[in-house]
Chains A and B, each alone.
Chain A
């Protein structure tokens, strides 16, 4: 009996996708995100163990990677994790609740700036002319996330009332606000010239962002890049687990209720405006964490020079949308895979195709057809392919795959 129920629950998302046109979501040009089954207890039995083994294996591989990968590759992985954290936050907002936002870079900037300011040395101590409160860096990291959430909550009058694509336009203004504030408050943000360096992230004398103290594991010296990898891995895991938990629990149900039909949600006792404002704040907190990670990754906080190119720009906002669309709206693992494609793939291509060799031969000289241009094509094609062939995104592809596996293996085992 329980097997049958799970089968139903697993099959549900695919069926949902088929009836999507009724959903208000369809106007945004995408399918409703995967539904999480009502019965969210993890399945018991052999599948459980397989899943367990898979997770442990994945964890071991990810934990061991710094021992093998060189610095450039580790930095690519870290950049993917930054994207994953922000994309998870955005998929809660856009995928689960049906609210479109382009404001992610703004909240990243808020988070990153908050960390740098809270952890930064007060100007009386350091000779830098920047604002700083000198808090312990770990505390500053947590507070930075809180500050980003508060900024998100402050946007509640808009976020609670404005729906879907209209919210996207409203949040677009935040990117411009961030650009303006970043440039006009160099005392806080470091300005556009040279920016300001974040304080080392240390805990109990152990630094995650420098080589101090020098240690090594199995003969591999553990320098800043390796340490940052593990830190990011923990932060990403926390972000992942919290998001999955929320989606499976009561908040997730109210998000989806609001997304699918706000009137019936209201009838069932969901306070629509509250839910919208709340999920916006949560999404902002995720972006804030991604912002702190960005600042640590660059080792620099620097305001952008234009709204179109830079760390907190519109292009970045669209990148996050691309991640969750490619990955499948509303799916947390999908957001992570989307981050791999959008943040990771261009850099991987960079590393795989050294500029001076193949492309130059193919295109006959210095005509500017470099890996950067190539990645723009690959990334554009990926989005087009997903929208054309699998509107549910890679998450739907993954579900279809596991469904196929299950239907092949289950009957022989169950009966």
Chain B
């Protein structure tokens, strides 16, 4: 009897003794130090991820899952920007560093990595993947972590801490269809097919084509596919029967390849217009090049091979850095994201507030962020509104690095101007 009581009693005593040396006991919500700005007269307020000589940003990316190519490219773009920026003296007299984690497109992994990174970073330079963004949505609000999402769905704009560096899928689609209209490839009253993938990405693209169809009296034949469907033959054959004059795509690159191939085989040969993730250089080879010739890609960032001066500079830096991978548009985009973060941080620095709240404030003051035309000029002052409506149009070209040739300047269509995207009031 006595022994029985002794065991739990001793255990409890042990627990009390042990807990006296718990590390967590002293931890009371981050090191809210007011770092003096490197000998400057003005005091700089800081909280997370900013020390006297270093600013740390987080990156949650995919280096091993379905978006491996994109994820690697974008991170390499970040690295190029950081190297260049640090060589020029950094931002706010501090060097920039990134902490990279690969979540393999798995939300459970990302929710472990987030609390590990969060106390040590100012914000996220990249959060890749819609499941990951959805799982961390509330955390970003709770911790006030301003984050660049590598997803272009206007649905996620309801979170003020999520930054989409560019336009959204719906606006891309409206602009892309408008481009076809202006080029005389489609006309009012036509029938247009739209293949879209189930989920956030596809549904957001569909919003765009629906709006465009309404405005131009176009009959829209929308067909939903799942991400694992690979053969678009039945669908494109169906479109041929319905007499479509163009096919819109909000699909994976593999599905784009299939749709393009069938389009050519059937002799349908209608123009294809796709959102920015519909293409990857991997689907472009000697056999498919002809079928992909009348494909139009719409994105608010330039392709890797673009003639834009800044894009050329990034390409040069990429070659000089000697990465093993083939470059893709992600490299340029990753660099552009660096530029965006850099300008937000500069503004926060001028405001004397490099806390997370200060970054959010600086973001909302940023009405005109320029990236040397890598991405259209961005206006982040309106919560819930895409930062730009402008896009580039490009077309696959097998002879160019990155596999895509830019064929238009930045533009925005009249229809897109009237469209209300995202969570605008």
Point out residues on A near B: beta carbons under 8 Å.
49, 52-53, 56-57, 60, 63-64, 67-72, 75-76, 79, 183, 192-195, 197, 218-221, 225, 297-300, 302, 305-311, 346-347, 350-351, 354-356, 365-368, 370-373
Contacts and interface: CB of A to CB of B under 8 A. Distances in A.
Contacts of A311: 107-108
Contact of B11 (A57, A71, A307): A57
B12 to A, nearest CB: 7
Contact of A220 (B14, B24, B72, B108): B24
A210 to B, nearest CB: 9
A68 B20 CA distance: 10
Interface in B173-200: 198-200
Given A311-B108, A356-B99, A368-B63, A302 B228 contact: no
Interface stretch (B132-140, B259-267, B285-293, B381-389): B132-140
A79 B99 CA distance: 24
A302 B68 contact: no
Contacts of A371: 102
Given A56-B7, A371-B102, A372-B64, A193 B155 contact: yes
A347 B100 contact: no
B180 to A, nearest CB: 27
A367 B107 CA distance: 22
B53 to A, nearest CB: 19
A60 B102 contact: no
B11 A67 contact: no
B22 A68 contact: yes
Nearest to A220: B24
A309 B203 contact: no
Contacts of A356: 99-100
Contacts of B75: 366
A196 B107 CA distance: 15
Contacts of B418: none
A41 B25 CA distance: 43
A91 to B, nearest CB: 22
A300 B134 contact: yes
Of A49, A56, A193, chain B has the most CB atoms within 10 Å of the CB of: A193
Chain B at the A interface: SS class: helix
Contact of B14 (A60, A71, A310, A354): A60
10 smallest CB-CB distances across A and B, nearest first, come from A219-B25, A370-B102, A372-B104, A193-B200, A71-B115, A192-B199, A72-B116, A305-B199, A60-B11, A218-B19
Given A64-B15, A372-B102, A347 B112 contact: yes
**Which of B26, B76, B106 has most A Cβ within 10 Å?**
B106
Interface in B116-165: 116, 130-131, 134-135, 137-139, 153, 155-156, 158
A193 B153 contact: yes
A231 B3 CA distance: 30
Contacts of A69: 24
A178 B199 CA distance: 15
Interface string B88-107: 00000000000111111111
B325 A67 contact: no
Nearest to B72: A366
A285 B99 CA distance: 41
5 contacts: A69-B24, A221-B28, A299-B138, A354-B99, A367-B324
Contacts of B200: 192-194, 305
B156 A75 contact: no
A307 B20 CA distance: 48
A306 B228 contact: yes
A368 B113 contact: no
B324 to A, nearest CB: 6
A68 to B, nearest CB: 5
Contact of B228 (A71, A308, A365, A372): A308
Contact of B112 (A75, A300, A355, A373): A75
B242 interface: no
B424 interface: no
B408 interface: no
A347 B109 contact: yes
B7 A53 contact: yes
Contacts of A355: 100-102
A372 B228 CA distance: 22
Contacts of B198: 183, 192, 305
